[in-house]
């Protein structure tokens, strides 16, 4: 094959200027020890159901961040809570990565346990990364001065030109597809990468909500919309045979629906 043609194909299929490589997925528990969601967060769960699911003492959970290595790019999905005991940066360090090696970050939504790790002492942590935020989500948190928290202001200032606000029709790099899954927050969005679906906060209690998506955690801002999104996403995962990873799943393994 003509060398120029080979180079052209390389440019078209890779999402950066680094050589293409296989996609690799890391699920990073940001919390240093196992977490449990109190059952009371999920409203009126009948005792009989709680006992049958063995969740009467709470539902196993986590605060997780996903790192996808694709086409030589380091892609982060959310950034954890940024607490002093946060495990994200130590995990990256173990892989030989420094924060400046992250090329892009895709946010599912803008709750503190997802954006806290982006900022340290008012400065951006991931100095070279483009920060992709769904426009519906960003707009919702910046509509009025009163709706804009100090965290969000600091984030916008710190990431400046590296912040990329995207709409539903916009193409994302590296073959990533954004799928709106509104309800948990106004612009909550999940991401498809190949046969992987990163579902953000579509479920806070997998042990309950996989079989009973009608239950909402108290954190879901619009409960009816959350239920509809959860059912729709679970249906898509099942019909497409996707592997699902979530930011509050208690496992680093992919969850699939037969
Ligand atoms: Zn969350």
Find the 113 Cα to ligand 1 centroid distance in Å. 6
- In 3D, which of 45, 66, 160 has the Cα closest to residue 117? 66
Which run of H or E residues covers position 157?
helix 150-159
Q: What is 21-245's CATH number?
A: 3.60.15.10
Provide the whole-model pTM: 0.92
Find the 111 Cα to ligand 1 centroid distance in Å. 6
Give the whole-angstrom CA distance, residue 130 versus residue 61: 29
- In 3D, which of 16, 128, 8, 127 has the Cα closest to residue 70? 16
Find the 160 Cα to ligand 1 centroid distance in Å. 24
| DSSP-based helix, strand, coil % in the chain, nearest 5 | 35, 20, 45
Find the 164 Cα to ligand 1 centroid distance in Å. 21
| The pLDDT of residue 146 | 76
Find the 19 Cα to ligand 1 centroid distance in Å. 34
Find the 80 Cα to ligand 1 centroid distance in Å. 9
| The pLDDT of residue 8 | 39
Give the whole-angstrom CA distance, residue 114 versus residue 238: 26
Find the 247 Cα to ligand 1 centroid distance in Å. 7
For the chain, the farthest-separated pair of C-alpha atoms sits apart, in whole angstroms, at 68
Burial of 73 per CB tally in 10 Å (0-12, 13-18, 19+): buried
Q: How many CB atoms lie within 10 A of CB 240?
A: 12
| The pLDDT of residue 18 | 58
| The pLDDT of residue 17 | 59
Q: How far is CA 88 from the centre of its chain?
A: 13
Give the CB-side neighbour count of residue 197, counting CA atoms within 13 A.
25
Find the 6 Cα to ligand 1 centroid distance in Å. 43
Give the whole-angstrom CA distance, residue 198 versus residue 166: 18
Find the 96 Cα to ligand 1 centroid distance in Å. 27
**One pLDDT digit (tens) per residue for the chain, 258 residues:** 444 443 333 333 456 655 555 789 999 999 999 899 999 999 999 999 999 999 999 999 999 999 999 989 999 999 999 999 999 999 999 999 999 999 999 999 999 999 999 999 999 999 999 999 999 999 999 987 777 788 899 999 999 999 999 998 899 999 999 999 999 999 999 999 999 999 999 999 999 999 999 999 999 999 999 999 999 999 999 999 999 999 999 999 999 998
Q: How many CB atoms lie within 10 A of CB 154?
A: 17
């Amino acid at each position: 094959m003509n060398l120029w043609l080979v180079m052209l194909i390389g440019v078209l299929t890779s999402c950066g200027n680094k050589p293409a490589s296989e996609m690799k997925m890391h699920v990073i528990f940001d919390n240093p020890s196992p977490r449990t969601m109190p059952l009371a967060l999920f409203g009126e769960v009948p005792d009989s159901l709680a006992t049958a699911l063995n969740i009467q003492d709470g539902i196993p959970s986590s605060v997780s961040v996903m790192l996808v290595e694709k086409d030589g790019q380091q892609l982060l999905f959310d950034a954890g809570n940024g607490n002093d005991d946060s495990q994200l940066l130590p995990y990256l360090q173990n892989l030989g990565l420094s924060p400046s090696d992250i090329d892009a970050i895709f946010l599912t939504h803008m709750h503190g346990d997802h954006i806290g790790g982006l900022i340290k002492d008012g400065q951006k942590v991931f100095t070279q990364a483009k920060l992709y935020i769904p426009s519906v989500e960003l707009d919702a948190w910046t509509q009025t001065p009163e709706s804009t928290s100090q965290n969000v202001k600091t984030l916008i200032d710190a990431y400046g030109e590296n912040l990329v606000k995207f709409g539903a029709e916009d193409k994302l790099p590296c073959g990533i597809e954004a799928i709106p899954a509104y309800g948990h927050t106004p612009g909550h969005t999940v991401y498809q990468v190949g046969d992987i679906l990163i579902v953000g906060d579509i479920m806070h209690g997998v042990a309950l909500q996989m079989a009973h998506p009608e239950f909402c955690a108290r954190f879901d801002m619009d409960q009816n919309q959350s239920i509809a999104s959860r059912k729709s996403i679970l249906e898509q995962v099942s019909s497409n045979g996707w592997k699902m990873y979530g930011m509050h799943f208690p496992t680093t393994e992919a969850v699939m629906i037969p």
